[in-house]
Amino acid sequence: MDRLRIAGGRALRGAVTIAGAKNASLPALAAALLSEAPLTLRNLPAVADIGSMIGVIRALGAHVEQSDPHVAHIDAGTLLSQDAPYDTVRRMRASVLVLGPLLARFGRARVSLPGGCAIGARPVDLHIKALASLGAEIGIEGGLIVANAAGGLKGARIVLGSPSVGATETAMMAATRARGESEIINAAREPEVADLAECLIAMGARIEGAGTHRILIQGDTAFRAASHAIIPDRIEAGTYAIAAAITGGQLELTHARLEQMASVAEVLEATGVRIWPGDRGLIVEGGGGLRGVDITTEPYPGFPTDLQAQFMALMTQAEGAAMIRETVFENRFMHVPELQRLGANIALQGTSALVRGGGRLKGAEVMATDLRASVSLVLAALVAEGETVINRVYHLDRGYEQLDVKLRRCGAEVERLRG
């Protein structure tokens, strides 16, 4: 397994190209299954999770051509299977997003329960309830979600118990093929949900209100050949913004969109970081001292849970303390013991972590556990004294395109050790 060796202490300077959003690409790849007509997706990030999802839809019979890792030409006109087995789904829980499209198009689907992951149990009960609202007969049999809708799905009012991103996406995709109109109440408002709606609209769907808590979908879509460019990845952009802040450098984040990162920009500016729009994206400048700022992670437009670990790394360098409360996932502090190995002063209290900043981090050997925890270790290593070796960097490769290359180009001393 590859490792990263990082020598800390360099201020990052230069430009970073922000790739397409992983969490907009995954549902868009699943949405391709809804249509007999071809779909071209552009600006896909070249990361492992995209390859996994392409493997999932290929296993279902879709033809996918990739002349370039950032583009996929998908033809799901002649799907052969509606079964996504455990071995496929357990590798990447987002595979569960194929459930809605398969059920809506073929009237049946069997998709393995994804199982939990490092950050929590992550049930899919809200996905199942949404499909049941559309008239599906759906249950769990032997670890599989078994869904049937012999007469097709019927448009309905779907009220989500909580604004789940995935359940909103499942409901929206399935509703495009239901008979009549559907309304999703308490929908997730993430930009990735809005981007999926844009992709579906390009494919012929009629959707209003995506990005708000109420989404209206007309069913009986006549799907057509379409092309869609994925939005930039706001979490990757936030990660590099924190890299500029923690090293006291300055980075231009090409393609980053401030309007998708308002809560992140507000918090970073409160710590003393300077952020302003540049010609090609966002410019972020650190240096000049960091203040401790308390955060609570929330569904969009609140502070994103996917940047909580990265922000915690930053707060280890702030003057004073910061209280970090995680409200979205129940176990998203796997990075804490590893940051403590680097000398961070962090006290866990239930779903909160109190970070006492000001201490000097010292390089050590650490272990990556999940995607965002891994990158928080990279950020800490960039400022730690001496050398840090991060094991199991395959976690990073799931969601960050060429992280080591991008960091090296901005002056970081980082080496990938093949092994």
| Catalytic one of 117, 202, 321, 389 | 117
Which residue lies nearer to ligand EPZ by CB, 297 or 391? Answer: 297
Question: Rounded to whole angstroms, how far apart are CA atoms 217 and 220?
Answer: 10
Nearest approach, Cβ of residue 49 and ligand EPZ (Å): 8
Cα–Cα distance for residue pair 400/408, rounded to 1 Å = 14
Query: Given phi > 0 = left and psi -120 to 50 = alpha, else beta, which region is 76?
Result: alpha
User: d(Cα 357, Cα 366) in Å, to the nearest integer?
Assistant: 20
* Tokens matching residue 99: 């459930």
C-beta separation of 325 from 295 below 8 A: yes
Tokens 């799905």 sit on residue: 153
Nearer to ligand EPZ, 26 or 382 (CB): 26
The nearest distance, CB 98 to ligand EPZ, in angstroms, is 12
Among candidate residues 202, 216, 236, 211, the one with its CA nearest the CA of residue 46:
236
Round to whole Å and give the CA distance between 65 and 32.
Answer: 13
Q: Is 261 exposed, middle or buried (0-12, 13-18, 19+ CB in 10 A)?
A: buried
Q: How far is the CB of 74 from ligand EPZ (least distance, A)?
A: 18
Minimum CB separation of residue 119 from ligand EPZ in Å reads: 6
Reply yes or no on whether 410 is catalytic.
no
CB of 181 to ligand EPZ, least distance (A): 23
Which C-beta is closer to ligand EPZ: that of 23 or that of 176? 23
Q: Which residue is nearest to ligand EPZ (CB)?
A: 166
Q: How far is CA 370 from the centre of its chain?
A: 12
User: Which lies closer to ligand EPZ via its Cβ, residue 162 or residue 212?
Assistant: 162
- Closer CB to ligand EPZ, 24 or 364, in the complex: 24
Q: Taking the complex as a whole, how short is the minimal distance between the CB of residue 128 and ligand EPZ, in angstroms?
A: 7
CB nearer ligand EPZ, residue 89 or residue 318: 89
148 beta partners: 108, 137
Q: Is 158 helix (H, G, I), strand (E, B) or coil?
A: strand
Cα 403 to Cα 234: distance, rounded to the nearest angstrom: 15
Query: Nearest approach, Cβ of 212 to ligand EPZ (angstroms)?
Result: 16
* Single-letter residue type at 3: R
C-beta closer to ligand EPZ: residue 301 or 343: 301
* Bridge partners for 322 per DSSP: 355
Are 182 and 217 contacting, i.e. CB atoms less than 8 angstroms apart?
A: yes
Give the binding site for ligand EPZ (CB under 6 A).
22-23, 26, 94, 120, 122-127, 162, 164-167, 188, 192, 305-306, 328-329, 371-372, 399
Kindly state the tokens that stand for 15: 């430009």
The count of other CB atoms within 10 Å of the CB of residue 185 is 12
Q: What are phi and psi of 348, to 5 degrees?
A: -90, 135
The alpha carbon of residue 223 and the mean position of all alpha carbons in its chain are separated, in whole angstroms, by 27
Please identify every residue annotated as catalytic: 117
